[in-house]
Chains A and B, each alone.
Chain A
Amino acid sequence: MRIVVCIKQVPDSAEVRINPETNTLIRDGVPTIINPYDMHALEAGLQIREKTGGKVTVLTMGPPQAETALREAIAMGADEAVLLTDRAFAGSDTWATAFTLSKAIEQIGADVILCGKQAIDGDTAQVGPEIAEFMDIPHISYIRKVVDVASDRLVVQRLMDDGFDLVESTLPVLLTAVKELNVPRLPSLKGKMAAKKAEIRKMSAADIKAGENDLGLKGSPTQVKNIFAPEAKKDRKVLEGTTEEKVDTLVKELVGLKCI
């Protein structure tokens, strides 16, 4: 089985804050991590390999520093890593990102492609399904359990708002992972050694034979117009008095608002 896992290096968004006075991000000391959902995708890829045999390739598109994320993935057990890096990829939105990744995956070759549900920096959840469309293969989002994998088909549980769907698909297929899927393993000592020595395969725009109009900013239909700080509500009222008085006031207000 040829398994490709797409991972993205992201700032740990829990720690990103905005400075309300200057309207800018405070990113001092904000660490970069592998997108948490991609860790679940990688774990699923490793588990499939353990069952069916084969090879897990991790793939990322990003600046040269993204190599760190790939080495971490090798430490967890991935067999090989590909870094898509080129100035021509700069400014990619999800369309251009997915297009670029799909071209690389076509060269690597894949039966099962795994992505995270979404990347926590943008939360778009679009790159996975878009890769599938570009490659003209089916995809199943929000996988919470891999029920069965055979050489030409698989069955998974897809998490929905009110339960789950049991979905069957032909291969090749693209899956996106939610955190209920598994618990990602820790890197092993052997893995860490391998990560140090591993050779990271680099691919450029020329390597994936893509034209500049489909890449980076030029290939991106969407643009960011501006960014700003979210507004805070103004009509706040902290209730005063003893606990009993506060509760009395609250109940009175709720009756007035017809909530009771």
Chain B
Amino acid sequence: MYIKVNRALCSGCEACLQSCPYDAIVMKDGKAVITELCQLCRACLSVCPEGAISEVKEASDTKETAQGKGVWVFAEQRDGKIAGVSLELLGAGRGLAQKLGAELSAVLFGGTADDAQELIRWGADKVFHCSDPLLSAFNDEPYAALLSKLIVEQKPEIVLTGATPIGRSFFPRVAAKLRAGLTADCTSLEIDAETKNLLQIRPAFGGNIMATIFCPHARPQMATVRPRVMKRGEHDPSRKGEVVSVSAKGIASRTKVVETVKEVSETAINLQDANIIVAGGRGMGGDKGFQLLYELAEVLGASVAASRAAVDEGWIPYRHQVGQTGKTVGPKLYIACGISGAVQHLVGMQSSDIIIAINKNPEAPIFSVATYGIVGDAHEIIPMLIRKIREAKGL
């Protein structure tokens, strides 16, 4: 398929130029021309007042779709602990499997027999488990090689994992090897009612726009999904399922983890699991301002996070950064103090259940996502808030 401009119809109005997110339309001799930057997003089709832009189908578009069956979730473990996002994906995967009338399986590398059972309790029908010590610590090559081998044998239709450092590093190798489509960092997954294709929705251009991606022919359809955007399913202690043991014979690695160094405070590790987050931005003004946030966090039993501006100022380490280039969080309560609410920050926290914004500028974009907005000086409001919460708690 490609996009074509009918030169006879084109009036040279340039309406299409602005519609193209990829800057792929240029004017030549007074007519619009589609360049090789075109990504076929179709955004220009509807904006042309003359109807001069159309998509042209080619023979290769009707290529047969490869066969596949079943929905898979790659369950990530680090130091024997299953990642929270894996459980969220079992919840989301159940829904997808139901719509397709298919089985839901989990894949576990490393971990114990009980971890495998736990995945069943969280919704998997079947678990492919490899307990070989070669895979207990993460290395890209053996993880990619073994998962690829399993996929070739079993032919699942959909394979998902968390958009964590691990998932985002080794899934691309699997996709490259299998010639599969892979969509990074999805925030929503749906099944197209008509074609049964997986629709993968993700932010692009730093969260300024959302894009729906699909893989019309290649299988499996692969995606990494942001932590904390999908809901976990039910944990059913009596659920039963099948565990298939997988051998790592013939799998090797040219990279070796020599040492693993932990260097984070408890609060930062817990950011993605936190129920309440108190976050500060440039408006907190410095270390003294952040001291207020730590106090507020303490009375609420919350973790402390920050905008990139606060991290760049050196008021708090990078690991506390929330947003496009930081962490995605989804707590019950997110309190944003002195944060303007740039899209790059919003994409990391807008799925929080309740958002409170404290900002002295009533026009700050953070108020557009805030459940409760307080216009005012954070240095005045936060101490008062701390005092009143203490009172409410009877402290």
Residues of A within 8 A of B (CB): 11, 13-14, 16-19, 22, 24-28, 63, 86-87, 89-91, 93-95, 98-99, 120-130, 132-134, 137-142, 155, 159-170, 173, 180, 216-218, 220-230, 232-233, 235-239, 243-244, 246-248, 250-251, 253-255, 257, 259-260
User: With A167-B257, A259-B300 in contact, is A251–B385 under 8 Å at CB?
Assistant: yes
* Cα–Cα, bound, A99→B179 (Å): 10
B173, A94: Cβ atoms closer than 8 Å:
no
> Chain B residue with minimal CB distance to A25?
B21
* Cα–Cα, bound, A193→B302 (Å): 55
CB-CB under 8 A from A91, the residues of chain B are 2, 36, 38-40
CB-CB under 8 A from A128, the residues of chain B are 172
A168, B209: Cβ atoms closer than 8 Å:
no
Chain A proximity mask over B61-96: 1 for CB below 8 Å, otherwise 0? 000000000000000001000000000000000000
* Cα–Cα, bound, A97→B37 (Å): 12
For this complex, 29 residue pairs linking A to B, each with C-beta atoms less than 8 Å apart, are: A14-B206, A17-B208, A24-B47, A25-B209, A26-B18, A121-B205, A123-B184, A125-B169, A133-B177, A141-B169, A159-B165, A161-B269, A165-B260, A167-B256, A167-B258, A170-B254, A217-B40, A221-B182, A221-B215, A228-B209, A230-B209, A233-B370, A236-B369, A236-B371, A251-B388, A255-B392, A259-B354, A260-B300, A260-B392
B372, A138: Cβ atoms closer than 8 Å:
no
5 shortest interchain CB distances as A-B pairs: A221-B181, A90-B36, A221-B218, A13-B206, A222-B181
- Beyond contacts A91-B36, A221-B217, A239-B374: 9 other A-B pairs, Cβ-Cβ < 8 A, are A90-B36, A95-B181, A166-B258, A169-B255, A221-B180, A225-B214, A227-B41, A230-B210, A243-B376
* Cα–Cα, bound, A127→B184 (Å): 11
B356 contacts chain A at the CB level, 8 A cutoff: yes
A89, B255: Cβ atoms closer than 8 Å:
no
Interface residues of A, dominant DSSP: mixed
Interface residues of B, dominant DSSP: mixed
User: With A141-B165, A167-B256, A247-B381 in contact, is A222–B373 under 8 Å at CB?
Assistant: no
CB-CB under 8 A from A232, the residues of chain B are 368-369
CB-CB under 8 A from B205, the residues of chain A are 11, 13, 16, 25, 121
Min CB–CB distance B333 → chain A (angstroms): 5
A133, B41: Cβ atoms closer than 8 Å:
no
User: With A63-B37, A133-B173, A243-B381 in contact, is A218–B60 under 8 Å at CB?
Assistant: yes
B332 contacts chain A at the CB level, 8 A cutoff: yes
Which chain B residues numbered 316 to 343 have a C-beta less than 8 Å away from chain A? 318-319, 324, 332-333, 342-343
For B37, B207, B255, B261, the residue with the greatest tally of chain A CB atoms inside 10 Å of its CB is B255
CB-CB under 8 A from B2, the residues of chain A are 91, 217
User: With A27-B18, A221-B180, A246-B376 in contact, is A230–B207 under 8 Å at CB?
Assistant: yes
* Cα–Cα, bound, A170→B255 (Å): 7
B215, A89: Cβ atoms closer than 8 Å:
no
Selected from B35, B170, B215, the residue in CB contact (under 8 A) with A222 is: B215
A123, B373: Cβ atoms closer than 8 Å:
no
Min CB–CB distance A84 → chain B (angstroms): 12
B140, A25: Cβ atoms closer than 8 Å:
no
A162, B262: Cβ atoms closer than 8 Å:
yes
Min CB–CB distance A27 → chain B (angstroms): 7
* Cα–Cα, bound, A139→B171 (Å): 12
Min CB–CB distance A90 → chain B (angstroms): 3
User: With A16-B205, A217-B40 in contact, is A165–B385 under 8 Å at CB?
Assistant: no
B184, A139: Cβ atoms closer than 8 Å:
no
CB-CB under 8 A from A138, the residues of chain B are 140-141, 253-255
CB-CB under 8 A from B256, the residues of chain A are 167-169
CB-CB under 8 A from B393, the residues of chain A are 260
For A19, A94, A137, A155, the residue with the greatest tally of chain B CB atoms inside 10 Å of its CB is A94
CB-CB under 8 A from A137, the residues of chain B are 254
CB-CB under 8 A from B141, the residues of chain A are 138
A141, B381: Cβ atoms closer than 8 Å:
no
B389, A166: Cβ atoms closer than 8 Å:
no
B384 contacts chain A at the CB level, 8 A cutoff: yes
* Cα–Cα, bound, A171→B310 (Å): 39
Which chain B residues numbered 190 to 228 have a C-beta less than 8 Å away from chain A? 199, 203-218
User: With A87-B36, A250-B372 in contact, is A93–B181 under 8 Å at CB?
Assistant: yes
B384, A163: Cβ atoms closer than 8 Å:
no
B172, A133: Cβ atoms closer than 8 Å:
yes
For A13, A27, A161, A221, the residue with the greatest tally of chain B CB atoms inside 10 Å of its CB is A221
CB-CB under 8 A from B136, the residues of chain A are none
B40, A251: Cβ atoms closer than 8 Å:
no
Selected from B182, B258, B350, B385, the residue in CB contact (under 8 A) with A168 is: B258
Selected from B18, B173, B263, B388, the residue in CB contact (under 8 A) with A25 is: B18
B102 contacts chain A at the CB level, 8 A cutoff: no
CB-CB under 8 A from B173, the residues of chain A are 129-130, 132-133, 139
CB-CB under 8 A from B184, the residues of chain A are 122-126
* Cα–Cα, bound, A237→B355 (Å): 10
B261, A233: Cβ atoms closer than 8 Å:
no
Which chain B residues numbered 359 to 382 have a C-beta less than 8 Å away from chain A? 362, 367-376, 380-381
CB-CB under 8 A from B300, the residues of chain A are 259-260
CB-CB under 8 A from B259, the residues of chain A are 165-166
CB-CB under 8 A from B276, the residues of chain A are 259
CB-CB under 8 A from A94, the residues of chain B are 172, 182
B140, A126: Cβ atoms closer than 8 Å:
no
CB-CB under 8 A from A216, the residues of chain B are 36
B41, A226: Cβ atoms closer than 8 Å:
yes
Min CB–CB distance A256 → chain B (angstroms): 11
CB-CB under 8 A from A253, the residues of chain B are 372
